[in-house]
Amino acid sequence: MATMVQTRPRVASSLRHAPIIGVVRTASLEDAAHQANVLAASGIELVEVTFTVPGASGLVRELLARRGGDGPPWFGMGTVTSAARAREAVAAGAEFLVTPNVSADVAREAGQAGLFLVMGALTCSEIVTAHELGADLIKVYPLPPVGGPAYLSVVRGPLGDIPMLAAGGFGIEEIPAYARAGAIAYGIGAPLLGVGPDEEEARRRIARALALARGEAGLEEENR
């Protein structure tokens, strides 16, 4: 099995290949396990289980044990708002961390563990601070309430050298607009799965989202 030092660049490589982090945020552990498995089986290479899920760290342990060996898929933890949560995630075997906020404490824990870190930020000052703390990718969050792609485009103007992930609740058909605004990856949860338990529909939606995120959807439609 790869060490954490080896895992970090491989997680980055997976995100370049499949630039969507599938976010699992449910009120029940059973639903979270189901969603994580559907995402992982459908081509999502980074699956984020948020700390808002009951028993989240235990679920990550189970997902890793079921996978065996190395990823992809890679399983990480989100809503990592404190050093204590970061340490819990590391102890569970999480392979990347995602925060909604700028936290020097979380950055320190991620750095010590050698984990890929996606740090949440919104303003230019927060984005620069998160980047200086060593975050591998900045999650610009929450984007829809503050203008969506238009806001991201403005922020990218002076900060175009900082890699950014778009997040905050938007549909899969909005991915191209965020790509044009400068996002290189996307954090998406429920819209990937649709409504209800239809796994085949979820797989279709995930395939569509990945094609859009990779810039392949337009080529596919032109060739029809």
Q: What is the CA radius of gyration of the chain?
A: 16
Q: pTM of the prediction?
A: 0.94
Report residues of the chain scoring pLDDT below 70.
1-5, 218-224
Give the Å distances, CA to CA, from 122 to 147, 166, 168: 12, 10, 11
Residue 6: per-residue pLDDT: 80
Cβ proximity of 44 and 192 under 8 Å: yes
Residue 41: per-residue pLDDT: 97
DSSP state of 144: G
Q: What's the CATH code, domain 4-212?
A: 3.20.20.70
DSSP state of 214: T
Residue 224: per-residue pLDDT: 47
What percentage of the chain's residues is helix, strand, coil (to nearest 5)? 50, 15, 35
What mean pLDDT, rounded, does the chain reach? Answer: 95
Residue 11: per-residue pLDDT: 98
